[in-house]
Structure 1
Amino acid sequence: MSETVEVSRRTFMTGAAAVALSASAGAQTVSAEANRESAGLGQTAGSRFDRHGSPSRKAERAWAEAEYTHYQQRMGDGPTQQAGAGGNTSGGSGSGSPTSPSFDRVLDAVKDVGCDPSGGRSIHEDIDGSAMQDGTLIVFPPGKYLLSGQFQASVDGTFGMVGAGYEQASSPPKPGKNAAMIVAAGGSRTRINFRASTGLFANFVMDQRSSKSSTGIVIGSSGFVQGRDIRFVGVQDNTGEGVSDSLAISPCALQAEEGATARAERVVGQYVGLPGDKNSGGAPMFWVGSGNSGTAQIGHCVSQGAADNGVYGGRTSGNVQIKGGQWVNNEVSQLRFSGTGSWADGVTLVIDKDRYKGPTSGGGFNEVFSTNGVKIERGDNGYAKAGGAVLRNADIRVGSVGSKGIGAPVLVRGSGGALKIENCRIVNNLDQPSVSAEGPGDGYSGHTSPPPHNITIAHSVFSGAQTGTIVQVSGRENSLVTKTCFTVPGSSPESVSGMKIGSGVGFGEQCTAGGLKAPQKVGSSGNLSSLPAPSYNGTAGVGAGRRRRKQGVLKKIIGGVFGGFLLILFLLLGAIVLIVVGVLAGFGALAALLGGD
């Protein structure tokens, strides 16, 4: 291993996360007018509503400490986490950017290992035990690398598989000739099982556009393993009759051993599943289940239109920690987790069926299953996790829903323990509660988590169209709301049920009490503009081909205008303006809602 370098806790924390840890310094309580603005009232272009924040110091510290702890544990063998300026050897920008392991041996996947970059031969046939050794990094040049079935990439030590250019990457690569693309074979359920004590799987496009294909990665860790800068394209279209839920291929599964960390960073997927397919092989974008007994960290990721939860983390004995990211129109729930040690911080959640642009075969989004924003539950597997989940700095927006409706923007099932909601903005344009908490033991599972069970809300803003109860809590003693502004027209103390109303709580459009403590922290700092237009398999669903044809027509019109500008300017200018405005209104609505570039 590389030569030991003495790096103190203070040095590492200062280098890797100093700016991030101090980003919230100087946060102050907003005024009544700022409260109105942050709640989405009287918004104008470029206002605070359109500016997303960043996760808290606590979230950034959790990220930095996971790396520092592993680094310290490995000091006896030499550092596996390099801490250069800013603690970042991957080229990512900004404090808190992830470090990369140091490797003793670097292999070119084509020249040294013999992989076929044209996709003619599966990587199974070339990557064997001689390549997968402790201290080895395999670098894949741009190209298409075929994947069929299950590929085991397991090393007891330090190991990496990366696309070329991973050192400079600060976002997932886009499909094309400059990307290392792992392509699922048609008619195949594929997965890469990547496991190490110190590991890195990074800078790949995971391509499941072949007919009847699906693909995913499992990030397994006995120490500290990262999967980062990974983009999923195409729809899993080999689910359905004959494919059980237990065989679902989640795009990204995290499995950390007790005391270890498995991290997904900047992993994105857009319309990767078929709506209504949850019980026949449709998968959540991120799965954290019984295979995880350590800490699963999900940072600055995007899931839009998954066939199951954006993050399904309610059935693990370990911790699920979600930092930033955007979670939009996923089936069942956007985020699902529970218990002390698990939290979501700085996230943006959107449910709006009117803006769903994905495949429709299978029943359509929210037409087979109801959905939720955040769901706190421990499921029916009997894991006895003490209550204490946290939702902090969240921006949750609910517009329209389908026939199956919504449980709630924030739903706490009877199996879920305590939940702390802090510095959150919830905009709910449906006439039903924004927070709904069942009594302990109620709900479909019948389980009750260990105490505490109370719900607390502080420094938050609620707005929307409710005419009745806004917060509904059942049978949870010591539940308390403080320093919160309910800007819903006509709201009053009667709008809060089952909670004690403490100090600093205001009601009505003109409320002057309560509000966001740190509005600049609310929501994700990212947006969906970095995602390419969704690409569908031939059997993915109706509507996709029609949209592509419309886009093609628009491109031809615009091309014609530029090609013959002087001849047809006055004849077609008006028509072009109408077409462009109409198309952009449809395709740009979601980006505008999320505060995109």
Structure 2
Amino acid sequence: MSKVDRRQYLGLVAAVATAGALAGCSEIARERPKTPTRGPGPGPEPGPVTTRPGPAPDRSERAVRYGVEFDRILDAVADLGMDPTGERPIDDAFESFLARRRTLLEFPPGVYRFDENHAVESVDNLGILGRGRTRSDVVFRTPSREGRQFVNVRAGGVGFLLENVTFDHGPGDGSIGNVLRLDDRLRVQNVEHVGFNPIVQNGALDNLSPQILTEGGLAVVDSYVRTGPTHIVSHGSLDGTANAGCIWLGEDHVGTLRIRNCHFANTGTNAIYCSRAPGRVEVVDCRFENNNQASLRIGGKGTLVRGCTFRFDTDDAHRENLGEHINPNAILWETGNRGQRGGVIESCSFVYDSAPVRTNAAIWADGSAGAFTVRDCRFSIDVPGVRAIRVDDPRRPRLGKTAARPWGVTLTNIVVEGRTTGFVPMIEISGRPNSTLDGCCLSVSDATHVVKLVSSPGSSIQNVNVSETGEWLTIRRREWLIAQEGEFVVDDVSYEQICRANAIQRPPPNAPVRP
């Protein structure tokens, strides 16, 4: 294959990869079967099994839904006396349901008010299912200005389903969260949070914490949406105020979590924060827009980010937001004090139309993360000063401890388009010996200092196309490292106007996410 043909092929490969990602995000169906990404432990993922036909169930019929098994089906209104008008709280009846076993609780369309937190030590095959045609037909609200946990499963159990409902935060203070700590078989399906998302001091809570407490266990979060306006403030350690995110995982998550077909927008902090969890996390076919700090804070062994789109246009942010965006990075790749290597980012699209000056990079890897791979991704950076990829030196981690070796990063089939300043590179790699850039296409307005390698001996750059001639590569060496680990290799560099000719189509600004 000639150089020109190879470059065109690269552009087409990236185009196909991104087109698939966008299709996955805009075609969310309520019960569309998915082929699971296999990970260690959980094995095949159970699919839905129809509970029963028609609106009037036979209450003696057993039901299985997404692998959660129920011996009985109850109607929240007819059987437990819950008020669907939103006038009277449902707390007492709902807490009695949480004490049951192997029970599916169905909510007819309506608005359900709750005033208190609902906690249970463990669960045994419980389910909450909205019986509306869409998730917005069944709505849960709380008047509490402090925020409330709708369900808090503290210590495990097997089998929990939350499906086809909406949580309404209202226009002001207080929000709603669900802490679901299970051993296995957790499913959150077609759930949305609407309304305003305040700061912690005004009652904000992380909306979802889907933690799996056993290594062989599996949780799936599918078609989960939060896009409402938010109150953006600086990091809480700086001025005493803080935001809450959408999904949070802690150190107790050791199983597998799959997040897919989800839409997150306008969070004031990390939309998904799971970098402290030692378990496997997969984020697939999701859409992220205008999230401050990071859309994804993630990294380490078993991590997979695939087919996702990240879009930033903070000049056209939600008109009901309070505060201004500060540093909307797409992915902050780090592992904290785990100091772990591994993980893959693939077939993703990153688009920056506007962003504040403090924005650092679409992918920003901290020194607490070791070797990882980025492949088949496309970056469109129209904001000077924003990097496509920044990888920091593990000897100087900001967010944890120095990562385990090896430290080298692998970038394969990367398309980068946009504008640079001539001072801030599009790709910057520091302290990462034996890194690889292979099959990259760089189409930028200023081809000066597009790629910068610092103290990364033994690295190779090959199969690279640069749209303009110039000093596009900057290498800073330390002689003792070179002697110890080898020279740089730069091979097969071409200068052709290929990337723009084969530019990947951008996602529409308001692509629908179907309930």
* Fold agreement, TM-score > 0.5: yes
- In structure 1, the residue corresponding to 2:128 is in which secondary structure? strand
Amino acid at match of 2:512: S
Say whether the 8 Å CA contact 2:21–2:309 is kept in structure 1: no
Deviations 1:308-359 (A, max 9, x none): 1121112222222101111111110111101011121000001221121243
1:383 aligns with 2:338: yes
Q: Which has the higher strand share?
A: 2
Structure 2 residue aligned with 1:250: 206
Aligned length: 451
Deviations 1:21-42 (A, max 9, x none): xxxxxxxx986457668889xx
- Relative to structure 1, the CA distance from residue 274 to residue 295 in structure 2 (aligned partners, 3 Å threshold; closer, same or farther) is same
- Relative to structure 1, the CA distance from residue 113 to residue 494 in structure 2 (aligned partners, 3 Å threshold; closer, same or farther) is closer
Structure 1 residue aligned with 2:294: 333
Say whether the 8 Å CA contact 1:408–1:436 is kept in structure 2: yes
Structure 1 residue aligned with 2:406: 452
Say whether the 8 Å CA contact 1:39–1:462 is kept in structure 2: no
Q: How far, CA to CA, are the matches of 1:291 and 1:123 in structure 2?
A: 31
- In structure 2, the residue corresponding to 1:226 is in which secondary structure? strand
1:235 aligns with 2:235: no
Say whether the 8 Å CA contact 1:119–1:144 is kept in structure 2: yes
Match of 1:151 among 99, 118, 123: 118
Structure 2 residue aligned with 1:52: 22
Say whether the 8 Å CA contact 1:237–1:274 is kept in structure 2: yes
1:192 aligns with 2:166: no
Deviations 1:126-178 (A, max 9, x none): 1234664222100011111112232125643211011014xxx7xx623xxxx
Structure 2 residue aligned with 1:411: 364
Deviations 1:32-69 (A, max 9, x none): 457668889xxxxxxx87983559xxxx6544668973
* Cα deviation, residue 409, structure 1: 1.0
Say whether the 8 Å CA contact 1:345–1:394 is kept in structure 2: yes
Say whether the 8 Å CA contact 1:219–1:262 is kept in structure 2: no
Say whether the 8 Å CA contact 1:423–1:519 is kept in structure 2: no
- Relative to structure 1, the CA distance from residue 283 to residue 357 in structure 2 (aligned partners, 3 Å threshold; closer, same or farther) is same
Q: How far, CA to CA, are the matches of 2:254 and 2:414 in structure 1?
A: 32
Q: How far, CA to CA, are the matches of 2:510 and 2:184 in structure 1?
A: 31
Identical columns (%): 21
- Relative to structure 1, the CA distance from residue 511 to residue 322 in structure 2 (aligned partners, 3 Å threshold; closer, same or farther) is farther
Structure 2 residue aligned with 1:428: 381
Unaligned 5+ segments in structure 2 are 26-33, 54-64, 469-493
Q: How far, CA to CA, are the matches of 2:506 and 2:160 in structure 1?
A: 30
Q: How far, CA to CA, are the matches of 2:362 and 2:222 in structure 1?
A: 25
Match of 1:345 among 300, 306, 309: 306
Structure 1 residue aligned with 2:127: 160
How do 1:20-419 and structure 2 match up within 5 A?
32-33=7-8, 52-54=22-24, 62-63=36-37, 69=43, 81=46, 99=66, 101-129=68-96, 132-152=99-119, 155-165=122-132, 173-174=135-136, 179-193=137-151, 195=153, 196-209=157-170, 211-237=172-198, 239-240=200-201, 249-259=205-215, 260-276=217-233, 278-279=235-236, 280-361=241-322, 363-366=323-326, 370-379=327-336, 382-384=337-339, 386-403=340-357, 405-419=358-372
- Relative to structure 1, the CA distance from residue 147 to residue 164 in structure 2 (aligned partners, 3 Å threshold; closer, same or farther) is same
Q: How far, CA to CA, are the matches of 2:208 and 2:97 in structure 1?
A: 27
Say whether the 8 Å CA contact 2:148–2:175 is kept in structure 1: yes
- In structure 2, the residue corresponding to 1:127 is in which secondary structure? helix
Structure 1 residue aligned with 2:486: none
Deviations 1:383-424 (A, max 9, x none): 34x311211011001121225x21111101111222210100
Deviations 1:499-538 (A, max 9, x none): 634432211169569989x999x99999642489xxxxxx
TM-score of the aligned structures, taking structure 1 as reference length? 0.67
Deviations 1:175-212 (A, max 9, x none): xxxx1101122423111235441121011110010542
1:491 aligns with 2:447: yes
RMSD (Å), alpha carbons: 3.6
- Relative to structure 1, the CA distance from residue 457 to residue 410 in structure 2 (aligned partners, 3 Å threshold; closer, same or farther) is same
Q: How far, CA to CA, are the matches of 1:90 and 1:287 in structure 2?
A: 34
Q: How far, CA to CA, are the matches of 2:509 and 2:124 in structure 1?
A: 33
